[in-house]
Amino acid sequence: MSGEVAAGAGDDPLVIVANRGPVQHKCADGERTAERGKGGLVTALSGLAGHFDGAVWVCAALSDEDVAVTREHDGAAFDLEGDGPSLRVRMLELDPEAQHKFYAVISNPLLWFIQHYLWDLSDSPNITRHEIDAFDNGYVPVNDQFADAVAEEIEALGGRATVMLQDYHFYLVAERIRARCPDAFLHHFIHIPWPHPDAWKVLPPGMREALFNGVLGNDVVAFHSRFYARNFLLCCQELLGLRVDLDTYTVEVGDRTVATRWHPISVNPDELETAAESPAVAEHVERLGSERREHMVLRVDRADLSKNILRGFRAFDTMLDDHPELAEKVTFLALLQPSREDVAQYVDYLDKTKKLVDEVNGKHRTDGWLPIHLDLDGDFDQVLAAYKLFDVLVVNAVFDGMNLVAKESVLVNERNGVLALSENTGAFEELGKHAVTLHPFDIQQQADALFSALTMDPEQRRERLESCAAIVRENDIAKWLNEQLRDVRRFGEREPKKA
Amino acid sequence: MSGEVAAGAGDDPLVIVANRGPVQHKCADGERTAERGKGGLVTALSGLAGHFDGAVWVCAALSDEDVAVTREHDGAAFDLEGDGPSLRVRMLELDPEAQHKFYAVISNPLLWFIQHYLWDLSDSPNITRHEIDAFDNGYVPVNDQFADAVAEEIEALGGRATVMLQDYHFYLVAERIRARCPDAFLHHFIHIPWPHPDAWKVLPPGMREALFNGVLGNDVVAFHSRFYARNFLLCCQELLGLRVDLDTYTVEVGDRTVATRWHPISVNPDELETAAESPAVAEHVERLGSERREHMVLRVDRADLSKNILRGFRAFDTMLDDHPELAEKVTFLALLQPSREDVAQYVDYLDKTKKLVDEVNGKHRTDGWLPIHLDLDGDFDQVLAAYKLFDVLVVNAVFDGMNLVAKESVLVNERNGVLALSENTGAFEELGKHAVTLHPFDIQQQADALFSALTMDPEQRRERLESCAAIVRENDIAKWLNEQLRDVRRFGEREPKKA
């Protein structure tokens, strides 16, 4: 890690709560493997363990083999093997039907779409018995199960702990833990945008109040951006009638004060740069390099409606219309990872995406030149290779909590590539002034911006890329964690624990 | 008028600005007719003329005959004939192409959809050359033309006037008038919701800033609800970086302070009750009454995406599923007025509506019983007759600035009809506690609420209806105007005119 996590957060043990754990078990040919999660967040959160007096990570058993492992431990926590500080893992076997309702009906699409402003409100969502049932018999019991497990861990640890909840799957958990373990310090990081009050009005009042009251069980609620924290407070004020302070960013809940904070998440530069040097990446670089034309436009995304994939292709189409001189000179490599394939909206979206790619390619292709290369493979080595080679990276998200592709790509690129970045991403606050700004609803502006990025003076491109990379190296994931630990110390001290 | 407009607003003359004028000219068999606009708003605004030292209404020439009349007057204002105080009308002949871009591209759907949260953001709108052109060569020049005409009128009146701008068609006008006529007092009433800042992000920054700066040319910006005023201020703060005061509901713009206000519009009870007694209405009452079953559910709406017509029928479908005992006993009369038929989204929506009605009728109909009667005729006499006869009136709008159907219907109903009212309408603030609340995205809740309204105790129904009617009689359109006039006096005095 470029920056080290500076210090612990007191003497309490740590409980991390996330849907996905630090390890996933697989079974092939009768052989069990335990694959450690990749990516900065898992590594960073796992690394936190070394700074606390013991740590346990509570997560869902996601694979069949996870379930087998969980049963072997009778549902209890077990030690995570491997390097690094001692970390125990407690996997929860969820009822499959409840898990589906929790994950594929309520968390996605219902909450995800609300928080990214993705509902087509004139006709969706329709809250019916199906959604009510999914909340009552999916989201609620899964949150209960997590809360119970966390409370058991805290009680086993003597009643005191710092709990770090992750994301939108667990809005009900903090309130329930607090009821059982009043001495725990509860911290919730929400990794997606928090929208304005009106966006929450799609939920029945009872449901939305349950969610808000759940989140308000925390001591600190943290986001990537000040705007999300502000929206959260505006929601508390308008939807719950609570007293908020928009200067100190706090909300009064009974006799407690809940603080909101914002810390932009980041990546682990060393880990990423090391991964980019692997032979597998080099092979991809060679192949992609041999296929490339004069200019390469790249996008790397989960195939999610928030990512604005359709408008990105329309903008590329418009640019080719406006600049016929680019014919046969530019390719748009789109590395999309299919996502949430059990959710109808995602299936439809990927289908629309493929059709649009065919349409644009059909319109512009020539003998031997395919303007858009759509790849749904999602191999991260290929992603790293493409990061090295792009001339312009397109991140045009409709709304995006942070967008780590923007941060990863500028560390790895070797061609003075230009970051073209949506103003509606969390990353824009840090990198926007060195990026080419994209207005995500404006096709013409995106087409013009793409063209200006492709034809930008090389020296200016170099300066922009270096500036972006320097910012990401400075604001790395260790800094993100350190700032949260500082909050834990600060707000934990403000409200002394009972003796 | 039940309540009289109490007093003028000082010695300045009045200039009303609205897309639609107080009169529309038609020509049939070579004979010109001048039809006075119906409805409370036109009558009320026209009536204002008597309280000012002269009044002129600036509007668009909407019909071919309006254009002919406008040309006969060389574009100058002419006296409006008929009863009532002296009012002049200045109609503007707009370039047809500019008018189309102004009205059918920018005002509807672009602004209307933003302000009602109706865009399906993952895929629409697409801002392309078409939209940019419609703004630059439609909305801007039409607003310029209105501003020039208003400024000419003010200059002809000696440079002082109270200008009352109406609605979302004229966001650029106030700033332009202020530049030419700094002594004018500028008041803008916006009749639709004002959404939160993120909703405005669909517009290119240049366009949205032009709109906001235009509106901020006013001295007072008024809405139906405090929430819209608050959203407007939050937008000024977040999107323009202006200093706002959320306690006094003001925003600082350079060395000026712009006030926001909220006054819920209403109807003219006397006018409405008189109209409901006409022989034409009686004929409709007789016909509808002879066709009715035990219960009549009614909705009356423009066929607009904001009105939530599809979910209303789905809720009715669900209620019939849940309560087979209602078969053949209840009909849903839907009086929909087709609207904006030159806008693709409206054509599609009406098409979806018809299909859904066929589907629900196909599922539940029996010999001689058609559950839903869809009527697209829009005859106001029939509407008044239906108002008299309903047992439950459904207003389930997704978002609606006010919704006057809710206010009209409770004055006219003769069957202790129950108002079932969306919590997302402006009207809900006044009538909500006597209505059955509808959660507009929740089909099941609407189905349950419909059933509970249909089976409610008669005495409770009577009390609710009487309470609603009393509130509307008290808060009538005269009160709405009086409050605006009070603002004109109050804020006009705060910033003394130059000598």
Average of per-residue pLDDT across B122-139: 98
> Six-digit token pair at A109?
């699409």
Give tens-digit pLDDT for A241-267.
Answer: 999 999 999 999 999 999 999 999 999
| Residue A497's pLDDT band (cuts 50, 70, 90) | very low
Nearest CA in chain A to B346: A122
Instruction: Answer whether residue B63 shows pLDDT above 70.
Output: yes
CA-CA distances (angstroms) from residue B337 to B131, B349, B375, B378? 27, 13, 8, 5
Instruction: Answer whether residue B176 shows pLDDT above 70.
Output: yes
Within 8 A of A439 by CB-CB distance, chain B residues are 127, 204-205
Taking alpha carbons only, the member of B239, B232, B386, B396 closest to residue B313 is B396
In the block, tokens 């008038």 appear at B177
B112, B123, B232, B322: which to substitute to probe chain A, counting the most A Cβ within 10 Å? B123
State the nearest Cα–Cα gap between A305 and chain B, in angstroms.
Answer: 6
Average of per-residue pLDDT across A364-379: 94
Strands of A256-262's sheet in order across: A78-79, A88-92, A55-60, A14-17, A162-166, A185-189, A220-223, A256-262, A250-253, A243-245
CA-CA distances (angstroms) from residue A226 to A222, A494, B195? 9, 22, 20
> What pLDDT score was predicted for residue A8?
54
At B203, the amino acid letter reads L
> What pLDDT score was predicted for residue B1?
39
> What pLDDT score was predicted for residue A236?
98
Instruction: Answer whether residue A322 shows pLDDT above 90.
Output: yes
Instruction: Answer whether residue B192 shows pLDDT above 80.
Output: yes
- Rounded Cα distance between A101 and A117, Å, is 21
| Residue B493's pLDDT band (cuts 50, 70, 90) | confident
| Residue B8's pLDDT band (cuts 50, 70, 90) | low
Residues 6 or more apart whose Cβ sits within 8 Å of residue A67: A61, A93
Instruction: Answer whether residue B7 shows pLDDT above 60.
Output: no
Give tens-digit pLDDT for A48-75.
Answer: 887 788 899 999 999 999 999 999 999 9
- Asked whether the beta carbons of residue A439 and residue B195 sit closer than 8 angstroms, the reply is no
| Residue A85's pLDDT band (cuts 50, 70, 90) | confident
Give tens-digit pLDDT for B380-418.
Answer: 999 999 999 999 999 999 999 999 999 999 999 999 999
CA-CA distances (angstroms) from residue B276 to B21, B46, B47, B409? 24, 22, 21, 11
In the block, tokens 């939209």 appear at B131
- Asked whether the beta carbons of residue B198 and residue A202 sit closer than 8 angstroms, the reply is no
Residues 6 or more apart whose Cβ sits within 8 Å of residue B31: none
Instruction: Answer whether residue A282 shows pLDDT above 60.
Output: yes
CA-CA distances (angstroms) from residue B192 to A108, A412, B115, B210? 31, 49, 7, 19
Give tens-digit pLDDT for B291-315.
Answer: 999 999 999 999 999 999 999 999 9
- Rounded Cα distance between A143 and A132, Å, is 15
Give tens-digit pLDDT for A390-414.
Answer: 999 999 999 999 999 999 999 999 9
Contact B313, B443 (CB under 8 A): no
HEC assignment per residue over A430-488: HHHHHCEEECCCEHHHHHHHHHHHHCCCHHHHHHHHHHHHHHHHHCCHHHHHHHHHHHH
> What pLDDT score was predicted for residue B52?
84
> Six-digit token pair at A131?
């959604």
> What pLDDT score was predicted for residue B457?
97
CB atoms within 10 A of CB A168: 22
| Closest CB to B117 among A121, A129, A441 | A121
What does the CA dihedral A420, A425, A430, A434 come to, rounded to 10 degrees?
A: 10
ipTM of the complex: 0.94
Give tens-digit pLDDT for A165-185.
Answer: 999 999 999 999 999 999 999
CATH number for the domain whose boundaries are A277-474: 3.40.50.2000
- Asked whether the beta carbons of residue A441 and residue B352 sit closer than 8 angstroms, the reply is no
- Asked whether the beta carbons of residue A120 and residue B117 sit closer than 8 angstroms, the reply is no
CB atoms within 10 A of CB A325: 8
CA-CA distances (angstroms) from residue B217 to B15, B45, B491? 16, 22, 14
Q: What is the fold, at CATH topology level, of the domain defined by B14-266+478-494?
A: Rossmann fold (3.40.50)
HEC assignment per residue over B454-480: HCCCHHHHHHHHHHHHHHHHHCCHHHH
| Residue A37's pLDDT band (cuts 50, 70, 90) | confident
- Rounded Cα distance between B335 and B465, Å, is 21
Q: What are the start and end residues of each CATH 3.40.50.2000 domain in chain B?
A: 14-266+478-494, 277-474
> Six-digit token pair at A27?
């079974």
CA quadruple A293, A403, A208, B231: dihedral positive or negative?
A: negative
- Rounded Cα distance between A234 and A245, Å, is 10
> What pLDDT score was predicted for residue B180?
97
- Share the mean pLDDT of chain B: 94
- Asked whether the beta carbons of residue B198 and residue A238 sit closer than 8 angstroms, the reply is no
- Rounded Cα distance between B393 and B434, Å, is 13
Give tens-digit pLDDT for A209-248.
Answer: 999 999 999 999 999 999 999 999 999 999 999 999 999 9
> What pLDDT score was predicted for residue B4?
61
Instruction: Answer whether residue B320 shows pLDDT above 50.
Output: yes
Give the residue ranges of DSSP H helices in B92-139. Answer: 96-100, 112-115, 129-134
- Rounded Cα distance between A172 and A316, Å, is 43
Give tens-digit pLDDT for B75-85.
Answer: 999 999 877 77
- Asked whether the beta carbons of residue B205 and residue A439 sit closer than 8 angstroms, the reply is yes
| Residue B499's pLDDT band (cuts 50, 70, 90) | very low
At B149, the amino acid letter reads A
Give the residue ranges of DSSP H helices in B181-225. Answer: 197-200, 205-215
Instruction: Answer whether residue A11 shows pLDDT above 80.
Output: no
- Residues of B391-414 as b/e, b for ≥16 C-beta within 10 angstroms? bbbbbbbbbbbbbbbbbbbbbbbe
- Asked whether the beta carbons of residue B117 and residue A198 sit closer than 8 angstroms, the reply is yes
Residues 6 or more apart whose Cβ sits within 8 Å of residue A160: A12, A13, A154, A183, A184, A497
| Residue A43's pLDDT band (cuts 50, 70, 90) | confident
B111, B120, B121: which to substitute to probe chain A, counting the most A Cβ within 10 Å? B121
> Six-digit token pair at B284?
């409709």
Instruction: Answer whether residue A366 shows pLDDT above 70.
Output: yes
Instruction: Answer whether residue A2 shows pLDDT above 50.
Output: no
Helix axes B173-180, B205-215, angle to 10 degrees: 60
- From the number of C-beta atoms within 10 Å of its C-beta (0-12, 13-18, 19+), residue B83 rates as exposed
